[in-house]
Amino acid sequence: MVRKKHLNLIIISVLLFASASYAQVTSFAMDSSKFNKKLMKILDTIHRSDQAGREQLSILIKNNASKATKDSLWKCIRETDQEDLKKVELIIDKYGWQGPQDVGLDASEALFLVLQHADLATQQKYLPLVADAEKNGKTLSSNLALLEDRIAIRTKKMQLYGSQIFTDKTTGKSLPYPIADPDDLDVRRKKMGLPPMADYMRSMNIDWDLNQYKLALPNIEKTAYQLRSQ
């Protein structure tokens, strides 16, 4: 007979797999009866707060809104980010990292999103915590990869996973910031639960040709960080 408590079990899919030396976190098994409902409610609100302005900005970009309109919204987004970060830091200080098993998927993702949108010093401060959370199956491997890439480009280093994109203001072409060892890019992406680079770029309507990128890489290294705006 199935015990009643199992009725509350929410299975997203089987957690984790990889080689004997690497456990890749791509999904989670969660029991809603074990959630910290109070924290879940707070973090769900933060998740919505983090995404709302960015969703609105995507609409403005799609509709070719004026620079002034977009800049005004960006200012609001930055102010919201700062307020959300204060809340997230208080939660982490008091409760530690909250995985999907603790507060649900969206609530846990709010922690990562707020850190991903924070300043460089904050990202560097919390990178070990995110790495530990990934090691313990409490955040997606892809989240760790995205944060590592974000820190890399902010410190003008080569990214490992190709997640960070810039637009060349001269050509108008969108390209990944400099990528280390691009020949092994898809191998690294797969290990972190990320789709092949061609699929990732296609999702953003960006053409991708590995050989052309490698040829352009020396020039990208010279120009990408000059064009980058925080």
Q: What is the mean pLDDT of residues 174-182?
A: 97
The pLDDT score that the predictor gives to residue 229 is 43
CA-atom Rg of the chain in angstroms? 19
Q: What is the mean pLDDT of residues 137-145?
A: 97
Please indicate whether residue 168 or residue 53 has the higher confidence score (pLDDT): 53
pTM of the shown model: 0.87
Please give the share of the chain, as a percent, with pLDDT higher than 70: 88
Whether the pLDDT of residue 143 is over 50: the answer is yes
Instruction: Give buried/exposed letters for 103-128 (b at 16+ CB in 10 A, else e).
Output: bbbbbbbbbbbbbbbbeeeebeebbe
Whether the pLDDT of residue 14 is over 90: the answer is no
Count the Cβ atoms, other than its own, within 10 Å of residue 29.
15
The pLDDT score that the predictor gives to residue 22 is 52
Burial class (CB in 10 A: 0-12, 13-18, 19+), 187: exposed
Q: Which residues contact 108 (CB under 8 A, 6 or more apart)?
A: 43, 98, 99, 100, 102, 138, 139
Whether the pLDDT of residue 50 is over 90: the answer is yes
Q: What is the mean pLDDT of residues 116-145?
A: 97
Q: What is the mean pLDDT of residues 135-147?
A: 97
Averaged confidence pLDDT in the chain: 89
Three-state secondary-structure class, residue 199 = helix
DSSP letter at 35 equals S
How far apart CA 131 and CA 115 sit, in angstroms, is 13
Whether the pLDDT of residue 108 is over 60: the answer is yes
- Degrees to nearest 5, angle at CA 176 with 140 and 15: 15
Residue type, 104: G
The pLDDT score that the predictor gives to residue 7 is 35
The pLDDT score that the predictor gives to residue 170 is 80
The pLDDT score that the predictor gives to residue 41 is 98
Spacing of C-alpha 2 from chain mean position: 38
Q: What is the mean pLDDT of residues 58-87?
A: 96
